[in-house]
Amino acid sequence: MEVKTSLLDNMIGVGDMVLLEPLSEDSFLENLKKRFDHNEIYTYIGSVVISMNPYRSLPIFTPEKVEEYRNRNFYELSPHIYALADEAYRSLRDQDKDQCILITGESGAGKTEASKLVMSYVAAVCGKGQEVNKVKEQLLQSNPVLEAFGNAKTVRNDNSSRFGKYMDIEFDFKGDPLGGVISNYLLEKSRVVKQPRGERNFHVFYQLLSGASDDTLKKLKLHRDFSKYNYLSLDSAIVNGLDDAANFRTVRNAMQIVGFMEDEVQSVLELVAAVLKLGNIEFKPESRCNGTDESRIKDKNEMCELLGIEQSVLERAFSYRTVEAKMEKVSTTLNVAQAYYARDALAKNLYSRLFSWLVTRINESIKVSDAQAKTRHKVMGVLDIYGFEIFEDNSFEQFIINYCNEKLQQIFIELTLHEEQEEYIREGIEWTNIDMNLHLLSNNQNGILAMLDEECLRPGTVTDETFLDKLNTICAEHQHFESRLSKNSKFLNDHSLPHNCFRIQHYAGKVLYRVEGFVDKNNDLLYRDLSQAMYKANHSLIKQLFPEGNPSKVNLKRPPTAGFQFKASVGTLMKNLQTKNPNYIRCIKPNDKKASHIFTESLVRHQVRYLGLMENVRVRRAGYAFRQAYEPCLERYKMLCKRTWPHWRGPERYWLEERRRQCLHDLASLIQKIYRGWKCRSHFLLLKKSQIVVAAWYRRYAQQKKYQRIKSATTVVQSYTRGWQARKLLRELKYQKRCEEAVTTIAAYWHGTQVRREYRKFFRANAGKKIYDFTIQRIMQKYFLGLKSNMPSMSPIDKNWPARPYLFLEGVHTELRRIFHLWRCKKYRSRFTEERKAVYEEKLEASEIFKDKKALYPSSVSQPFKGDYLEISKNPKYQKLSSAMDEKVLLADVVNKINRANGKGTARLFLLTKKSVVLADQKTGQVKASVPLPDLTSVSVSTQSDGFFALKLKEVRETWLV
pLDDT in tens, 367-405: 888 777 667 788 999 988 777 777 778 888 888 888 888
Catalytic residues: 107-108, 112, 157, 160-161, 387, 389
The residue among 320 and 599 whose pLDDT is bigger is 599
Give the pLDDT band (50/70/90) at residue 646.
Answer: very low
- The answer to whether residue 725 scores a pLDDT higher than 90 is yes
Which of 520, 547, 562 is a domain's end point? Answer: 520
Q: What is the pTM of this model?
A: 0.64
Q: By C-alpha distance, which of 908, 911, 901, 934 is closest to 923?
A: 908
Distance spanning both ends of the chain, measured CA to CA: 112
The pLDDT confidence band at residue 101, using thresholds 50, 70 and 90, is very high
CA angle 266, 270, 271 (to 5 degrees): 120
Q: Are 831 and 837 in contact (CB under 8 A)?
A: no
Domain assignment present for residue 257? The answer is no
- Alpha-carbon distance 470 to 333, whole Å? 32
Exposed (0-12), middle (13-18) or buried (19+): which is 236, by Cβ within 10 Å?
buried
Q: Answer yes or no: do 702 and 772 share one domain.
A: no
Question: Is residue 646 assigned to a domain?
Answer: no
DSSP code, position 560: P
Q: At what angle do helices 111-125 and 130-150 cross, to 10 degrees?
A: 170
pLDDT in tens, 139-184: 889 999 999 999 999 888 888 888 888 899 999 888 889 889 998 8
Please give the Cα distance from 227 to 209 (Å, whole number). Answer: 11
Beta 48-52 vs 581-588: how paired, if at all?
Answer: parallel
For 279, left (φ over 0), alpha (ψ -120 to 50), or beta?
alpha
Assess whether 443 and 460 both reside in one domain.
yes
Residue 61 scores a pLDDT above 60: yes
How many CB atoms lie under 10 A from the CB of residue 897? 18
By mean pLDDT, which of 297-301, 458-462, 529-533, 946-950 is the weakest? Answer: 297-301
Task: Report how far residue 605's alpha carbon sits from residue 612's, in angstroms, rounded to the nearest whole number.
Answer: 11
Cα angle: 147, vertex 152, 155; to 5 degrees: 140
Higher pLDDT among residues 560 and 17, named by residue: 17
With a pLDDT cut of 70, the percent of the chain lying above it is: 87
Q: How confident is the model at residue 708 (pLDDT cuts 50, 70, 90)?
A: very high
Q: With respect to residue 643, please indicate whether it lies within any of the assigned structural domains.
A: no
Residues 741 and 699 placed together within one structural domain of the fold? yes
Q: How far is residue 729's CA from residue 743's CA, in Å, rounded to a whole number?
A: 21
User: According to the model, what pLDDT value does residue 639 have?
Assistant: 53
Q: State the Cα–Cα distance between residues 290 and 299, nearest whole angstrom.
A: 11
**CATH number of the domain within which 883 lies:** 2.30.29.30
Amino acid 743: pLDDT: 93
CB distance 672 to 664 below 8 Å: no
Q: Are residues 659 and 760 in the same domain?
A: yes
Q: Are residues 465 and 427 in the same domain?
A: yes
Q: Quote the radius of gyration of the chain (alpha carbons, Å).
A: 57
Rounded to an integer, what distance in angstroms lies between the CA atom of residue 590 and that of residue 740? 132
Domain annotation covers residue 358: no
Distance CA 87, CA 99 (A): 10
* pLDDT in the model for residue 760: 72
In contact, 72 and 611? CB cutoff 8 Å: no
* pLDDT at 797 exceeding the cut of 60: yes
With a cut of 70, say whether residue 640 has pLDDT above it: no
Instruction: State the DSSP H helix or E strand holding residue 250, giving kind and residue range, or none if neither.
Output: helix 244-258
List beta partners, residue 84: none
Residue 465 to residue 315: CA distance in whole angstroms:
33
How would residue 235 be classed by pLDDT, with cut points 50, 70 and 90?
confident
Tell me what the mean pLDDT of segment 36-60 comes to. Answer: 92
Residue that wins the pLDDT comparison between 264 and 238: 264
Q: What confidence score (pLDDT) does residue 943 get?
A: 82
779 and 843 together in one domain: no
Q: What is the pLDDT, as a whole number, of residue 423? A: 63
- Same domain, residue pair 859 and 870: no
- H/E run at residue 919: strand 916-921
Residue 922 shares a structural domain with residue 851: no
- Please spell the DSSP secondary structure of 5-40, one letter per residue: P-TTTT-SS-SBGGG-SS--HHHHHHHHHHHHHTT-
- For 879-883, the CB contacts below 8 A with 24+ separation are 880/925, 881/909, 881/911, 881/920, 881/925, 881/926, 881/927
Domain of 899 in residue numbering reads as 866-961
Quickly count: other Cβ atoms within 10 Å of residue 266's Cβ.
Answer: 15
Q: Reduced to 3 states, what is the DSSP secondary structure of residue 941?
A: strand
Compute the average pLDDT of residues 743-769.
81
Higher pLDDT, 434 or 872: 872
Query: From the annotation, which residues make up the binding site for ATP?
Result: 105-112
Q: Is 936 helix (H, G, I), strand (E, B) or coil?
A: strand
Helix (H, G, I), strand (E, B) or coil at 117: helix
Is the predicted pLDDT of residue 512 greater than 80, yes or no?
Answer: yes
Among 765, 787, 814, give the residue marking a domain's end. Answer: 765
Q: Give the C-alpha separation, 171 to 580, whole Å.
A: 14
User: Domain total for the chain?
Assistant: 5
Q: Among 828, 804, 831, which Cα is nearest to 815's?
A: 804
Specify the pLDDT at position 630: 44
Shared-domain flag, residues 839 and 897? no
> Residue 905: is its pLDDT beyond 90?
no
Indicate if 705 and 746 belong to the same structural domain: yes
At CA 776, angle to CA 775 and CA 782, rounded to 5? 90
Describe the chain by its helix, strand, coil percentages, rounded to 5. Answer: 55, 15, 35
Question: Which residue among 801, 827, 853 closes a domain?
Answer: 827
CA angle 836, 837, 842 (to 5 degrees): 95
Question: Nearest Cα to 162, choosing from 178, 144, 179, 149?
Answer: 149
What's the whole-number average pLDDT of the chain? 82
Tell me, yes or no, whether 322 lies in a domain: no
pLDDT of residue 703: 95
Cis bond before residue 792 (omega within 30° of 0): no
- Confidence at 426, pLDDT banded by 50, 70, 90: low
The reply to whether 729 falls in a domain is yes
- pLDDT of amino acid 474: 82
Contact call for residues 587 and 387 (beta carbons, < 8 A): yes
**Closest residue by Cα to residue 278 from 301, 250, 310, 262:** 301
Q: pLDDT tens digits for 316-375?
A: 888 888 777 666 777 788 888 888 888 998 999 999 999 999 999 999 998 888 777 667
Instruction: Look at residue 730 and tell me whether its pLDDT is greater than 80.
Output: yes
Of the candidates 27, 52, 44, which has an alpha carbon nearest to the alpha carbon of residue 598? 52
- Report the alpha-carbon distance of residue 541 to residue 14 in Å, rounded: 55
pLDDT band for 476, please (50, 70, 90 cuts). confident
Q: Do residue 855 and residue 909 come from a single domain?
A: no
Q: pLDDT tens-digit profile of 142-151?
A: 999 999 999 9
Which is nearest to 156 in space by CA: 118, 120, 205, 105? Answer: 105
Q: 101-126 burial, b for 16+ CB within 10 Å, e for fewer?
A: bbbbbbbbbbbbbbbbbbbbbbbebb
Main-chain phi, psi angles of 887, to 5 degrees: -125, 165
Given a cut of 70, whether residue 6 has pLDDT beyond it is: no
Query: CA–CA separation, 777 vs 16, rounded Å?
Result: 147
pLDDT higher than threshold 90 for residue 464: no
Does a structural domain hold residue 724? yes
pLDDT at 929: 80
What's the rounded mean pLDDT across residues 723-736? 95
3-state secondary structure of 382: strand
pLDDT band at 681 (very low <50, low <70, confident <90, very high): very high
In DSSP terms, 936 is beta-bridged to: 953
Residue 65, CA distances (Å) to 58, 68, 73, 103, 535 in order: 12, 5, 14, 21, 52
2: in domain: no
Q: Which of 132-141, 468-477, 922-931, 950-959 has maximum average pLDDT?
A: 132-141
What pLDDT is recorded for position 290? 46
DSSP codes, 462-516: --HHHHHHHHHHHSTT-TTEEETTSTT-S-TT-TTS-TTEEEEEETTEEEEEE-T
Instruction: Determine the pLDDT at residue 962.
Output: 52
Cα dihedral angle (32, 35, 41, 42), rounded to 10 degrees? -70
Q: Binding site membership: which residues?
A: 105-112
Confidence of residue 291 (pLDDT cuts 50, 70, 90): very low
Residue type at position 321: R
- Closest of 679, 678, 623 to residue 649, by C-alpha: 623
Instruction: Summarize the confidence of residues 243-253 as an average pLDDT.
Output: 93
pLDDT the model gives residue 648: 45
How much is the pLDDT for 185?
Answer: 83
Q: Does 493 score more than 60 pLDDT?
A: no
Is pLDDT larger for residue 393 or for residue 52?
A: 52
DSSP code of residue 202: B
Distances (CA, A) of 769 to 152, 217, 616, 766: 132, 114, 152, 5
Indicate if 747 and 780 belong to the same structural domain.
Answer: no
Per-residue pLDDT for 625 more than 50? no
Determine the residue type at 572.
T
Q: Is the pLDDT of residue 491 over 60?
A: no
Amino acid at 720: Y
